[in-house]
Every structure is written in C-alpha cells, then in structure tokens.
C-alpha cells in the first residue's frame, strides 16, 4: 500500500492508544540529543530518498541547528521538543514520513479535550474562512486573529510544520485546513479558552468572540458537516457525452474495485461518452496496483509505470540502533528480490507495476479531465504522473499533495524513541515513475492546467466550483491552460 493509516500502526502495537500526550512533561536534553542522533543515524541507514529533491544539505544543516539549541538547555518540555524536531523533519520532504507522539485521536497529539471549536478552509485569497462552527453567524468570516496573534503570523508558522512531499504548497495548505484545530494546538498554543477576531469578508467589520474549547468528538461532528466530495466510488453520467468517475481512495477491496473499473468503463463505451472527468480529490492513495489498473483504462498505447524502487539497506541486523527499530518480518522473505545497484544502494526488483502494460480492450479513448487537490497523494499521484507524462488529459483544481515522478513509500520501519516515547515511521522504498522530466517543477506536485480555488461564497455554499469550471470548459470546448483567478 502507498500510505499508512494510524490503525495499521495500532495493530502493530507500535503506537500506543492513550489519551493525548501530556504537553509539559520535562525531559533532559542530554538524552534528547542522543535521541536526535538516533533519528539521524537511522534515517541515513534506512531512508532511500534523503536527496531525491536535493534537500539533504539543508536537512543536515538544520539537524546541527536543532542539536545546538538543545545543548543550550538542561531541560525541555516534550511539546517543545516535538515542535523543534518536527520543524527539522519537514526538511526531509517526504509526505509519507511519520513523527508520532502517543495519542488516541490523530493528529490531536497533546490536546483532544479543549480545541478550537471551528472548521476552516482557505479561499482564493489565501484567507482562512470559517466553514463551520456552533455559532452559525460567524460562518464565512475571516479568521484574522487568535489570542492576540494575527493570522499573517500563525499561518506561516503552521505551514512550515506540515510534512509534505517535496515542496508541494497545496499539500501543506490542504493538510493545514484539514486539521487546523489540532495543528494549532500541536504547534502554536494550548490555551484553556480562545479570543478570536473574525472579520466580515464583505464589510470588513471585525467581530470579537470568546470561545470555549471543545473535545475531539464535537470537533469531528463539526467537520463532518463541511465538504461535498463523496466517500464512495461511483460513476455518474452528467448528460449524453460527459461522465464523472469518482475515486475517493485506492484502499477498498482490490477485487471489487477492479470489477467497478470494468463495469464503469463498459458503460462509458456503450453510452459513447466523449468526456470523462476522473475525480481523485481527497484520494490519499492505497494499493499502488489499482492506480496502474485505472490508468490502463485510459491509456492510448502500451505504457511503463514504475522505473525502479530503490531501497537503502538489505540487512536490518546491521542497524546501529536495531534494538529500537521494528522491521516487518516479511521483509526477510523478500531478500531474494533485493539487488545491489551501481549507486551503492539496492533495487527491489519484484513488483507488478514493472514492465510494459497494455491498454484495456474496453478502455476510454476520449477526452479526460483529472480533478485533483492537495490531498491527492501517493498511489493517486503516481497514476496522475503517468497521465501527465503521457499528456493524457487536462488537470483541474490545485497542485497535488504528492510530487510528480517520485515518492518514498511502500513498507515502513519504525523507530521507537526511548526518552520522548515518540515513534518515527520511515518508508523504505523510493519509487520512481517511468515518466519524462516534463516541465513540471522539480519537487512540486502535479500542477493544474486549470487552477481553481474557492471564493468565500463558494465555501459558505459548500459549492463544487472545480467541477463547475471543468464543465464550463467542456461546454465552451476550450481546453487551453487557464487560471480561474
């Protein structure tokens, strides 16, 4: 699978189920500096993509800065340590990488009982808009200040703590708005109450509101009422010539999903659909073979998918801190497929996505639009990379969260940190797609041809403005590169 859910970690027994971790536990910096060394050493031994985007020099430099800061103090709280190390680990530029305190509700690590009682979304001006909160009168207003700190200060601080692939801006913005209340608590402040300034988007009038924090369950209820994307796979006929294929994830039953693909594309052929909109917004990945399977239904010629899967090690017994590292037992059974390369690392040589693949007989030959966003990630971005490389369609929405051509994912090893009790999840495969360099900026997500961001009114009305814009483009028969703003 191309992503990892917390339930998987829990089943392994490697991340503890507990209440949110106490934020003010005092930790000795001498042992934390050893822990920091443990993280760096294990990353060098296990992570295959530490320089895939040219990021290694900055990553190492920032490691020394963190170590130097720790050396200046005798004690530090665990939340201060977490914030310090997380900001460094962001420089790894690996969206699959995990840095996890013990917790019950992801990612409410240090507080799940008294969090900001609102849901926010970014609008087309980069403003945080209240999409939902208990007092409906504030919906659609700009969140401009929290406890005396202006948005222009806390938004950049939060963005630089988002762990994303490469330098995907949309990936960072999408993660931030997805769990804003949690991230504010994790990286900014953990107050008992909130005084917020909410600015009317039309009049500019500022409203002051004193808010009481809510628990995770109440926050989740607020969150459920925001959004229009279906969580169920479906194919819908808009009218005689246009269809929408909604794929919210590649993580459902593989056999059933393949049946769904076969049924949907059979219908498209029988109905003589000319324009197909493949909606993978919010699709964070899943089984990587399903991404390749989907592409085979729109491919116009034979295609290659994976170029290689590179890994950094073959024997986990040689790890410096092996007593603190958990490695899946099945990995030892795959050693026969791990071969040395001329780079001093290894290639994993067995995967169904290697080789040349043929288009499906009942595949779609018409015009394709891909609807994507900053949460389109992992196996989803692999499929989109293949489409981008083949110029198979137009891309609408925002930049993807996953980077073009590269991702580090697959199997994970886990480093259990003995002092802080945090867990590091390290993906051990660097996947490179068999696609050209293209004109997509290195280290960025797949850039859209039609960039669409919601206005304040779109957010208030919960409107699917991306779908609307694409349908208008099809109706006008204009397939040129445009920006909606």
Q: Whole-prediction pTM value?
A: 0.94
CATH 3.90.226.10 assigned to domain 234-413+427-483? The reply is yes
pLDDT at 18: 58
3-state secondary structure the chain: CCCCCHHHHHHHCCCCECCCCCCCCEEEHHHHHHHHHHHHHHHHHHCCCCCCCCCHHHHHHHHHHHHHHHHCCCEEEHHHHHHHHHHHHHHHCCCCCEEECCECCCCCCCCCCCECCEEEEECCCCCEEEEEECCHHHCCCEEEEECCEEHHHHHHHHHCCCCCCCCCHHHHHHHHHHCHHHHHHHHCCCCCEEEEEEECCCCCCEEEEEEECECHHHHHHHHHCCCCCCCCCEEEEEECCEEEEECCCECCCHHHHHHHHHHHHHHHHHCCCCEEEEECCCCCCECHHHHHHHHHCCCCCCEECEEEEEECCCCHHHCCCHHHEECCHHHHHHHHHEEECCCCCEEECCCCCCCEECCCCCCCCCEEEEEECCCCCCHHHHHHHHHHHCCCCEEEECCCCCECCEEEEEEEEEEECCCCCCEEEEEEEEEEECCCCCCCCCCCECCCCEECCCCHHHHHHCCCHHHHHHHHHHHHCCCCCEECC
Stretches where the chain sits below pLDDT 70 are: 1-20, 478-485
pLDDT at 477: 72
CATH 2.60.120.10 assigned to domain 118-224? The reply is no
pLDDT at 7: 42
**Domain-by-domain residue ranges, the chain?**
6-100, 118-224, 234-413+427-483
Equal CATH topology for 118-224 and 234-413+427-483: no
């Amino acid at each position: 699978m191309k992503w990892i859910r917390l339930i998987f970690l829990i089943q392994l027994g490697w991340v503890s189920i507990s209440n949110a971790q106490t934020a003010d536990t005092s930790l000795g910096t001498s042992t934390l500096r050893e822990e920091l060394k443990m993280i760096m050493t294990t990353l060098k031994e296990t992570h295959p993509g530490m320089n895939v985007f040219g990021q290694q020099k900055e990553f190492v430099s920032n490691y020394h800065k963190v170590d130097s800061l720790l050396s200046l103090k005798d004690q530090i709280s665990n939340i201060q340590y977490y914030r310090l190390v997380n900001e460094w680990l962001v420089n790894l530029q690996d969206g699959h990488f995990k840095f996890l305190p013990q917790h019950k509700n992801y990612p409410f690590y240090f507080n799940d009982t008294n969090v900001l009682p609102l849901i926010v979304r970014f609008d087309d001006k980069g403003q945080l808009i209240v999409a939902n909160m208990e007092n409906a009168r504030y919906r659609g207003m700009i969140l401009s200040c929290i406890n005396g700190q202006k948005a222009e200060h806390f938004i950049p601080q939060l963005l630089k703590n988002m762990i994303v692939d490469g330098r995907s801006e949309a990936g960072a913005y999408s993660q931030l708005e997805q769990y804003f209340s949690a991230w504010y608590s994790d990286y900014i402040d953990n107050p008992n109450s909130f005084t917020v300034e909410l600015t009317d988007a039309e009049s500019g009038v500022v409203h002051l509101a004193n808010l009481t924090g809510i628990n995770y369950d109440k926050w989740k209820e607020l969150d459920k009422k925001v959004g229009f994307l279906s969580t169920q796979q479906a194919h819908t006929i808009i009218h005689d010539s246009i269809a929408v294929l909604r794929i919210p994830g590649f993580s459902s039953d593989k056999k059933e999903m393949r049946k769904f693909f076969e049924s949907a594309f059979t219908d498209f052929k029988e109905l003589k659909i000319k324009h197909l909109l493949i909606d993978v917004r919010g699709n964070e990945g899943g089984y990587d073979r399903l991404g390749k399977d989907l592409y085979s239904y729109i491919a116009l010629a034979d295609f290659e998918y994976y170029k290689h899967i590179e890994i950094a090690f073959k024997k986990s017994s040689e790890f410096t801190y092996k007593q603190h590292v958990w490695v899946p037992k099945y990995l030892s059974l795959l050693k026969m497929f791990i071969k040395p390369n001329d780079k001093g690392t290894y290639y994993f040589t067995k995967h169904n996505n290697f080789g040349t693949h043929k288009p499906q007989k009942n595949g779609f030959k018409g015009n394709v639009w891909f609807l994507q966003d900053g949460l389109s990630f992992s196996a989803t971005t692999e499929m989109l990379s293949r489409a981008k490389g083949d110029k198979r369609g137009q891309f609408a929405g925002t930049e993807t969260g996953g980077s073009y051509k590269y991702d580090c994912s697959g199997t994970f090893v886990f480093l259990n940190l003995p002092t802080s009790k945090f867990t590091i999840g390290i993906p051990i495969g660097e996947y490179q797609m068999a696609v050209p360099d293209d004109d997509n900026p290195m280290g960025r997500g797949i850039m859209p041809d039609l960039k669409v961001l919601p206005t304040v009114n779109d957010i208030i009305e919960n409107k699917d403005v991306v779908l609307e814009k694409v349908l208008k483009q099809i109706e006008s028969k204009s397939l040129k590169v445009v920006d909606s703003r």
